[in-house]
Amino acid sequence: MNMDFSWLYEIPTRNLALLSIAVFVGFYWLGAIFLRPILRQFVKHTAGSNDIVGYVLSCFCVFYGLLLGLIAVTAYQNVADAGSNVTREAAALSALYEDVSRYPDPYGQNLRWLLRDYTRYVIKYAWPLQQKGIVPEEGTIRAEAFHDRLLDFQPTTPAEEILHAEAMRQLNHFLECRRMRLFSVRSALPASMWYVMILGAVLNLAICWLFDMRFLTQLVLGGILAAYLGTMIFLIVDMNQPFRGDVSVSSEAFETLYRRMNED
């Protein structure tokens, strides 16, 4: 089960980053004002309380830092894998276009037109849907239309038989890459990761409330830590879905291919 952050992607990236920082800093400052006096009662009469809290915080930060790093790498790897799927699909589509370009007309001309229409659909219609977290479905109709048209061709020479077999192989590879792209549209970190990550951030800030220091110093130093935590959480949210946010997969591979198709 994945957590739904759809509404966050409606916020401009810069504003979302500032909002994340403001939430964490605001939480820390409010806690320092209202909760710190209560929590300080547990360590207030302990000798060397700042040293003890510092040791606990250091150990906690090691584990939490490793967790954040692994989650950030996982989120980025999802984006990278989706980008590789898109590149492979565009490459398979390009190879398929080259193969059908050698078919005799009118088959070759019709097949090229169907591939250009599919590529145009992906750029103009499918990509905006993916950027909203919606899996585009109409591309299946276009892919099936091309498949049916390709099967209509009956080779009459050994050379055409070889060419047709290669085109069918490329078509299967293209369909496989296409399915992988569609599967990655809604890929995201599981909810359990988010729960552990948010809980860790709250506990990290709560431990900082236990330090015995001037109130203003508490606000400044803790605010810096909270701001950085907010930045890290924002980065992970931004990479959570491969086709959404500022760190996302673009349609550049298809756009480049479409321009080359129109040059023919």
Read off the pLDDT band of 122 (50, 70, 90). very high
Q: Please, which residues have CB within 8 angstroms of residue 225's CB and are 6 or more apart in sequence?
A: 28, 204, 205, 208
Domain residue spans of the chain: 6-263
What DSSP state is assigned to residue 186? G
Q: Judge whether 142 and 118 are in contact, CB under 8 Å.
A: yes
What separation, in Å, do the N-terminal and C-terminal C-alpha atoms of the chain show? 46
Which residues share a beta bridge with 2? 190
pLDDT per position as a tens digit, 67-90: 999 999 999 999 999 999 999 999
pLDDT at 247: 87
Q: Which 3-state string (H, E, C) describes 22-73?
A: HHHHHHHHHHHHHCHHHHHHHCCCCCCHHHHHHHHHHHHHHHHHHHHHHHHH
With a cut of 90, say whether residue 44 has pLDDT above it.
Answer: no
CA distance 168 to 100: 10
* pTM of the predicted protein model: 0.87
Read off the pLDDT band of 45 (50, 70, 90). confident
% of residues, the chain, pLDDT over 70: 99
Pick from 63, 79, 71, 32: nearest CA to 234: 71
Q: Judge whether 201 and 229 are in contact, CB under 8 Å.
A: yes
Read off the pLDDT band of 1 (50, 70, 90). low
> Tokens representing 6?
């759809």
% of residues, the chain, pLDDT over 90: 88
pLDDT at 105: 87
What is the Rg, in whole angstroms, of the alpha carbon atoms belonging to the chain? 27
